[in-house]
Amino acid sequence: MSKIKCIIIEDEPLAAKVLSDYISEVPFLELQKVFKDAMLASEFLLHQHIDLMFLDIHLPKLKGMAFLKTLSNPPAVIVTTAYHQYAIEGFNLNVTDYLLKPFEFERFLTAVNKVRAAQKTTSNEVRDFIFVNVQKRKVRIPFSEILYIESQREYIKIVTTRNEYLSKMSTNEIEEMLPTDIFKRIHRSFIISVNKIESYNAEMIEINGISIPIGRGYKDVIDKL
C-alpha cells in the first residue's frame, strides 16, 4: 500500500513540531507540508492530492471548522485542538478523530491507524472513477471514458470520450490513482487506456485516431498486453 500523504494546518510552531515529529515516526505517513493558516492550505489542496490533514481549530483568518465546510471533497481529517467543545461539530463533519492537546504518541498512532484502516477498506472497494482538480473544482471522471493522459510540464491533459481536462499534477501522481490492469504507461509523457487501443506497432499506439508514441524504455509493456 502506498504511503498516506498528509499536511499539517497549525499556527503554533511547537504544536506543529510535535506533529511533524510524530509523523516522522510512522512509516506509512508522508508529510507534504506545514501551513500556518487555512487559506494557504486551501490553495495547496486545489493542486495536490492529499490523503490526510491534521487540522487545528483556532487558526488566523479562517477557523478550522469553517475551512472544513468550504471543502467539497476533503481528505481524511484529524482535528487537533485544546478545546473539547468542538468535538460534536467535528464528528458531524465526518472527521476521523479528535485529538485534545497535549496528546501522547500512542493516542496519535490510534488516530492515524483509523485513517489507514479506512484507506484499506476504500482501496478494496471496486471504484470506477477518479476525482481530479480542474480550474478550482473537483471533476469526476469515469475510468471507462478515459482515452489517454498526456504530460504537459506542470499539468496533465486527460483526454476522454467526451472532453479534455487540464489538471495541475504530475504523470506519476495520476498513475498512482489509476488501476494498473486498465491503464499502462507507454511513454514518459503518456498513459493509455488498454481498452481503447485500436491498433499498434512497435513504435506507436493508435487510440481514437490519435497516434501515441511508445517510449524506448516501455517496449516490454506492449509485449505483455
pLDDT at position 82 is 83
Residue 77 vs residue 124, higher pLDDT: 77
Q: Does 3.30.70.260 match the CATH number of domain 129-224?
A: no
For the domain bounded by 4-124, which CATH number is listed?
Answer: 3.40.50.2300
Residue 92 confidence (pLDDT) = 59
Q: What is the mean pLDDT of the chain?
A: 88
According to the model, what pLDDT value does residue 114 have? 92
Find the mean pLDDT for residues 148-167. Answer: 94
Q: What is the pLDDT of residue 194?
A: 93
Mean pLDDT across the stretch 39-54? 89
**Span 117-137, average pLDDT:** 77
**What's the whole-model pTM score?**
0.57
Task: Give the pairing type, strands 4-9 and 52-56.
Answer: parallel
Q: Is the confidence at residue 142, as pLDDT, over 60?
A: yes
Residue 90 has pLDDT above 70, yes or no: no
User: Residue 176 — pLDDT band, cuts 50, 70, 90?
Assistant: confident
- Name the segment(s) of the chain with CATH classification 2.40.50.1020: 129-224
Start and end residues for every CATH 3.40.50.2300 domain found in the chain? 4-124
Q: What is the pLDDT of residue 61?
A: 83
pLDDT, mean of residues 191-197: 94
